[in-house]
């Protein structure tokens, strides 16, 4: 297992980015790698970070503005070669079908539930590290 994973956290709201960092912590699960967070507040910053490589998982805020996380997820899945898995934060349970359309691998509802977020993130990190093996 890799020693450290990079988790990109996208939201225009600094409080949401902080909630994600605090909820998942430095190691979302005992059997997942330690994580470093790369925070992005804009779509251009997300695209630049992904083009540079080294991102293991993306956590995208579905309620972000002006570019919502669902649209960002769809765009990066269509445009980025070997796009990392996406965990999408959604504001309403009825948005789950949109999360599926966006091709996100995992969905967690706002407000952030630390147990649900850490579990979903750890699952994506485990999957990513087994793909690399």
pLDDT tens digits for range 63-112: 999 999 999 999 999 999 999 999 999 988 888 888 889 999 999 998 89
Domain parsing of the chain, residue ranges:
4-132
In this prediction, residue 96 carries a pLDDT of 81
Helix (H) or strand (E) holding 111: none
3-state secondary structure of 102: coil
Q: Report, at the CATH architecture level, how domain 4-132 is classified.
A: 3-Layer(aba) Sandwich (3.40)
Residue 133, both tokens: 């093996």
3-state secondary structure of 31: coil
In this prediction, residue 131 carries a pLDDT of 58
**CA neighbor of 102 nearest in space, from 86, 122, 113:** 86
By the 10 Å C-beta count (0-12 exposed, 13-18 middle, 19+ buried), 108 is classed as buried
pLDDT tens digits for range 7-31: 999 999 999 999 999 999 999 999 9
The whole-model pTM stands at 0.93
Residue 26, both tokens: 């430095």
């Amino acid at each position: 297992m890799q020693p450290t994973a990079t988790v990109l956290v996208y939201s225009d709201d600094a409080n949401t980015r902080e909630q994600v960092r605090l909820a998942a912590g430095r190691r979302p699960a005992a059997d997942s790698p330690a994580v470093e967070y790369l925070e992005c507040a804009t779509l251009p910053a997300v695209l630049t970070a992904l083009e540079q490589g080294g991102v293991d998982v993306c956590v995208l805020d579905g309620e972000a503005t002006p570019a919502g996380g669902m649209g960002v997820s769809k765009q990066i899945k269509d445009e980025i070669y070997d796009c990392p898995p996406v965990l999408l934060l959604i504001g309403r349970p009825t948005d789950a079908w949109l999360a599926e359309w966006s091709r996100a691998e995992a969905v967690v509802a706002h407000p952030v539930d630390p147990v649900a977020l850490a579990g979903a993130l750890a699952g994506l990190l485990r999957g990513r590290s087994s793909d690399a093996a």
